[in-house]
Chain A
């Protein structure tokens, strides 16, 4: 979970060149995520930020099998994340679930380690910790 923008390029910069079992966040500017495992996790964030190289990063982590399971955006999805996740889907066949517009309250209520259920209609349920059910755009 990160309250600041998720810099995808900086976060995956050490995981895209060598085969790793799991991608550890390498963005030292992100004190909430730095050093944490991102693979198969649900990343809760406001938006992604940083280099436009991130477009290819998503495709790469998808091909390497170290992508996150889902991306839950409190704000509207940004162009870099949208483009990157769509390229990973259309050209690699790896769908990383994305729900956006979940609202600031969602980001305030979710905590690291919470279990989250994402439904096809965009409803997100935090099943541990504080129970909330915001609905976003899938």
Chain B
């Protein structure tokens, strides 16, 4: 690790002063962290953060969030972020929405015993409001929608990649803690995805499938291949059309989340769809780019490579989690219709598997205001939660349970089994994994 006395990064006078302790020892430590980060990324200098933050640190869960002592130190020093911020979904303490066993609830209560104090610290440090918890913050109902070109220091891999690719904002993939510290100093390294050069594509990804692939399977294939590089994706506009329709926004949110989970993709361009690709086209491709062709076989092979992580691999599914990342209002209606239609077709009233759908508080509030739609889901036995499905597996709380999901991101971070949407609906109504899906 490099020391601060021997830096290549150019610092402004104010930054040097803070580094020397002019704004107190805690701010000095915060600045040192951000400056060393810039040095490691090869940044020429730090630049001002221009918009609201979004961070991956909502839970008072060791190993994911900054420790409380660190937050106490920041608050005691009177520090807060330069702009308000939103956070990933809140801790899984909305038990009435989750249908957990008593021992699971107790384990979660113990795990998140410091959550109230943690939430208070987040508000003191700049959290926008007490409902600002979702991994889909750029939905109109939530409203953290940075403008194109805005410099940010976001974390949450799914959000950073969406902000860069679809909104055209500029953020690196910052890790937990670095997100908060960068936004406290209000500066982030001018490196990587903040630069025009860093936004050029070094991979041409040709999608040659017979139909629109599942976004989280396609994203996983891309992420696994290109790792941290920037892909320029062609072949999706023939399925999705040009530009950014509501459906396309949802598709890209899911695809990007999987790209970022299975690789470290912080930016992708999609021909005729994402803003920089619309403006610059294949001019975004670096001359010596590599090419990756994705066909149906490639995606089938990838799907077949996923291990079944259930304790009993032959078990009947017990639970289903939908909404990782959090669903949009349109997706919530889509699932409501699909579940309703599938139940009607089998003359069933309820799903055979306990199902929880996850979405932002503001989205659920709007959905619940539509009494007819909400009633349909309730009658089917579906619960609605504002938390994160992934947290239900933290600390082994749901380890080995026969959970199914439509999220390849959730699969990667848990023992849940992944099924594409259509197959998942079949399993939900029948309660069984049949035939080829086994």
A residues apposed to B, CB below 8 Å: 4-5, 7, 9-10, 12-14, 16-18, 28-29, 46-61, 63, 75-80, 82-87, 89-91, 95, 97-98, 138
Contact = CB atoms under 8 A, between A and B. Distances in A.
Nearest to A58: B175
A95 B260 CA distance: 27
Contacts of A82: 37, 40-41
Given A80-B175, A83-B175, A84-B175, A52 B36 contact: no
Interface in B62-108: 62-67, 70
A91 B29 contact: yes
A5 B396 contact: no
Given A4-B224, A12-B63, A56-B176, A83 B37 contact: yes
Contacts of B61: 17
A49 B266 CA distance: 10
B43 to A, nearest CB: 10
Nearest to A81: B175
Contacts of A79: 37, 41, 172-175, 192, 266
Given A17-B394, A83-B178, A87-B177, A47 B264 contact: yes
A122 to B, nearest CB: 11
Interface stretch (B154-162, B245-253, B378-386): B154-162
Interface string B160-189: 100000000000111111110100000000
A87 B157 contact: no
B424 interface: no
B228 interface: yes
A49 B262 contact: yes
B268 to A, nearest CB: 15
Given A47-B264, A50-B157, A52-B179, A76 B42 contact: yes
Interface residues of B, number: 52
B395 to A, nearest CB: 4
Contact of A55 (B32, B174, B396): B174
Interface string B1-29: 11000000000000000000000000001
A28 B262 CA distance: 12
A8 to B, nearest CB: 9
Nearest to A54: B175
Contacts of B36: 86, 89-90
Nearest to A89: B1
Contacts of B65: 56
Nearest to A86: B36
A55 B264 contact: no
B56 A47 contact: no
A61 B63 CA distance: 7
Given A16-B63, A52-B157, A86 B40 contact: yes
B227 interface: yes
Interface string B375-415: 00000000000000000001110000000000000001100
A84 to B, nearest CB: 5
A59 B65 CA distance: 10
B57 interface: yes
A16 B62 contact: yes
Contacts of A54: 175-176
B146 interface: no
A53 B160 contact: no
A49 B227 contact: yes
Contacts of A77: 40-41
A83 B174 contact: yes
A7 B14 CA distance: 36
Contact of A57 (B1, B64, B224, B266): B64
Nearest to B399: A14
Contact of A29 (B29, B67, B395, B412): B412
Contacts of A49: 223, 227-228, 262-264
In the A-B complex, the 10 residue pairs with the closest CB atoms: A55-B175, A16-B63, A83-B178, A60-B63, A55-B176, A17-B395, A82-B40, A56-B176, A52-B155, A83-B175
A98 B41 CA distance: 13
Contacts of A75: 228
